Amino acid sequence: MENILKFIASQLQAVGINYEFMEWTDATIPQTYFTGEYIEEPRTTEDGMHGVDFILMGNTFASWYTLETAKNTIEGCFPSVTGKTAIMEDGSGVAVFFSHAMTIPSQVPELKRIQINLDIKEWKVN
């Protein structure tokens, strides 16, 4: 899973999305940033495929339009049909697909939030 986390972080960084895994740890908090977490599916297929649901949580004190623009950037990075594919250092293959998004209510009136779900498929060599 570590290789996949690095892959997602590098892809998001390449398109200008502020991202960290699980929580924002930098002392400087950007106006808009995303954190990610995952849910692994059981390994049940004979072809070595492993599924992961990856959840990106976007946060901003800017406008809703800012989050919508970020969502569109992420969707372009991980297209829902073709996905973003790569061969990892360990020889496994990975494909990441945009799945869906939804706005999330916040207890802080100025804070706007969005949840973006990515569908990840990994095929291990061994």
Confidence at residue 90, expressed as pLDDT on a 0 to 100 scale: 84
Bridge partners of 119? 53, 97
Structure confidence by residue, pLDDT tens digits, 26-72: 999 999 999 999 998 877 667 778 889 999 999 999 999 999 999 99
**Burial status of residue 103 (CB atoms within 10 A of its CB: 0-12, 13-18, 19 or more):** middle
At 25, the amino acid letter reads T
Average pLDDT on 90-106 reads 93
